[in-house]
């Protein structure tokens, strides 16, 4: 492993963005809770440590904290709450601001070194603030490096140790020179090497997989989506024919999904592939269940049951199961590995597995964000139409049907979704969209078709732009494209008389509806 940065999550909504900015600079980063012991942190051997922002006041009972000795383990950058925490521990004064400061602000650089190398003393720059408390007095041994127009400390550094802090969020795009500040910390302060590349990751992961697996057999649950396809290709590169891919037709897939997967994985990649038709099994298990969390768990458990049966039938005696779990899945499912960030949903690859499953797990992508997975896939030689596909959830269309999952609802949703994606591609918009899909709503609406009154189903359309799925904005379709999509769905899909478009961003909404 090359250079790496440890991010301690104090509860900020932007913690994942810090990890992204570090990785964009080609330095590996991981998010962990601030409760990690000093011994654990020393053994992890970070090249630098970043303390994230957070909603607490440093004087609150139970507020996130760190042992003061951590400031001597590696170079440290405190961001927002992280800055206030350093000031509090080191003897500075942190006070309530009287009112919350949120949004764009201008700060003046007073010390053009360290984080602000390349700036000029006296220069003003636009940053993004999000805080209630502020540092009134810098700690002994520290000097201010930036101030706001109201002479409030916006940055400081230790006089001799590599400890730096800023009151604003350098990781968000609204901070104009934020990437430069982050890179100054990584390369100027921590002296990291920019070695986090797809090729480097593949080499490391192949060695780990070979050491773990030895001569044993492995199976992979292949969906045909980006994550499972890249995971399968990576493991196949490592162990070849020791891998058997099992594609489960759950009955919850998109139109013609099974045929596409079989054609691509067998013909293009030469993998051993077993197809299991399990539609009835999944639909029976889901019958009458409308709760989204329970649906995810049912699907996850049924997957493992099917894998166990399929591997036994194939005589593989597989010891390991490959899953395409990504880092956002881990963060969202485990509350930032135990930190104070909120849990959003249970991903079936992480939170829904049976505790008595017989397989060991291989999750070769669990350290990666989505765009990193795509780049690894390209490095492995996968076709662009595969690595460029929009994300598709493991539970499939079951979580895009709000309420009971029935064959009737699935049939309507499949056809509507296929028309939607076909029109997006025809308009040349597919590469501009992070994820687009249709949702079957558990309501009916009144309509008029011909001379008759109808009372039929409603389809919601969702399309978002994003970098990694952690935050997302709704996609602004040209009105004529939305009009064509709506007309085709209503005219060509029996049972639908109304189409609506979701214009919610994440946050506050999630990308998926369930």
| Interior/surface letters 150-189, b for 16+ CB within 10 angstroms, e for the rest | eebbbbbbbeeebbbbbbbbbbbeebebbebbbbbbbbbb
Q: How many C-beta neighbours within 10 Å does residue 406 have?
A: 15
Residue 2 has φ and ψ, to the nearest 5°, of -85, -145
Q: How far apart are CA 265 and CA 239, in angstroms?
A: 16
Helix (H/G/I), strand (E/B), else coil: 387: helix
Q: Burial of 122 by CB count in 10 Å (0-12 exposed, 13-18 middle, 19+ buried)?
A: exposed
Alpha helices (H) along 263-387: 269, 279-286, 292-313, 327-333, 335-338, 370-379, 384-387
Catalytic residue among 32, 158, 164, 169: 169
Q: How far apart are CA 266 and CA 269, in angstroms?
A: 6
C-alpha distances in Å from residue 394, one per residue of 234, 329, 347, 371: 19, 11, 8, 18
Helix (H/G/I), strand (E/B), else coil: 442: strand
* Cβ atoms of 196 and 149 closer than 8 Å: no
Active site (annotated) includes residue 192: no
Active site (annotated) includes residue 171: yes
DSSP 160-214: SSSEEEESS-TTSTTSTTHHHHHHIIIIIIS-------HHHHHHHHHHHHHHHHT
Catalytic residue among 32, 131, 158, 171: 171
> Can you list the positions of beta strands (E) in 45-141?
48-51, 76-79, 93-109, 124-137
Take residue 106 and report the two structure tokens written for it. 């201008």
Catalytic residue among 80, 192, 220, 245: 80
Sheet-wide strand order for 93-109? 28-32, 4-8, 48-51, 76-79, 163-166, 153-158, 142-148, 93-109, 124-137
Q: How far apart are CA 97 and CA 133, in angstroms?
A: 5
Active site (annotated) includes residue 169: yes
Closest CA to 113 of 181, 26, 170: 181
C-alpha distances in Å from residue 236, one per residue of 166, 273, 322, 382, 455: 45, 12, 11, 12, 51
SS (H, E, C) 413-424: HHHHHHHHHHHH
Helix (H/G/I), strand (E/B), else coil: 427: coil
Catalytic machinery residues: 80, 169, 171
């Amino acid at each position: 492993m090359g250079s790496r940065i440890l991010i301690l999550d104090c509860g900020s909504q932007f913690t994942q963005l810090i990890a992204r900015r570090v990785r964009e600079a080609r330095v590996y980063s991981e998010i962990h809770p601030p409760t990690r012991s000093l011994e654990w942190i020393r053994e992890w051997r970070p090249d630098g440590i970043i303390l994230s922002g957070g909603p607490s006041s440093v004087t609150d009972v139970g507020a996130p904290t760190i042992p003061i000795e951590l400031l001597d383990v590696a170079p440290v950058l405190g961001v927002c709450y992280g800055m206030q925490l350093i000031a509090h521990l080191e003897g500075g004064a942190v006070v309530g601001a009287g009112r919350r400061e949120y949004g764009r602000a201008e700060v003046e650089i007073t010390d053009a070194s360290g984080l602000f190398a390349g700036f000029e003393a006296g220069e003003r720059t636009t940053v993004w603030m999000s805080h209630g408390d502020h540092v009134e007095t810098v700690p002994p041994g520290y000097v201010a490096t930036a101030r706001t127009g109201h002479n409030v400390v916006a940055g400081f550094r230790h006089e001799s140790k590599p400890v730096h802090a800023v009151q604003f969020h350098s990781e968000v795009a609204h901070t104009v020179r934020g990437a430069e500040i982050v890179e100054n910390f990584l390369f100027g302060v921590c002296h990291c090497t920019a070695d986090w590349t797809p090729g480097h990751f593949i080499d490391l992961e192949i060695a780990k997989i070979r050491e773990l697996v030895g001569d044993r057999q492995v199976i992979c649950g292949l969906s045909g989506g980006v994550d499972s396809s890249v995971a399968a290709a990576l493991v196949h590169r490592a162990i070849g024919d020791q891998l058997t891919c099992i594609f489960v037709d759950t009955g919850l897939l998109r139109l013609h999904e099974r045929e596409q997967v079989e054609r691509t994985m067998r013909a293009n990649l030469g993998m051993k592939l077993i197809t299991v038709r399990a539609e009835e099994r999944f639909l029976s298990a889901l019958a009458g269940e409308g709760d989204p969390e329970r649906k995810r768990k049912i699907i996850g458990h049924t997957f493992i049951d099917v894998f166990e049966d399929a591997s036994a039938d194939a005589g593989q005696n597989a010891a390991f199961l490959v899953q395409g779990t990504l880092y956002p899945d881990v963060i969202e499912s485990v509350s930032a590995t135990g930190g104070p960030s909120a849990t959003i949903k249970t991903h079936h690859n992480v939170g829904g597995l049976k505790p008595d499953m017989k397989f060991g797990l291989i999750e070769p992508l669990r350290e990666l964000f989505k765009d990193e997975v795509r780049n690894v896939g390209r490095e492995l030689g996968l076709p662009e139409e595969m690595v460029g596909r929009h994300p598709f959830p493991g539970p499939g269309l079951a979580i895009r049907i709000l309420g009971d999952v029935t064959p009737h609802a699935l049939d309507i949703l499949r056809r509507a979704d296929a028309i939607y994606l076909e029109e997006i591609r025809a308009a040349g918009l597919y590469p501009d969209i992070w994820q687009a899909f249709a949702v079957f709503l558990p309501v009916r609406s009144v309509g008029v078709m011909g001379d008759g009154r109808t009372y039929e189903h409603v389809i919601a359309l969702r399309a978002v732009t994003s970098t990694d799925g952690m935050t997302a904005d709704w996609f602004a379709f040209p009105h004529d494209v939305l009009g064509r999509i709506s007309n085709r769905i209503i005219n060509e899909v029996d049972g639908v008389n109304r189409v609506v478009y979701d214009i919610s961003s994440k946050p506050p909404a999630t990308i998926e509806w369930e």
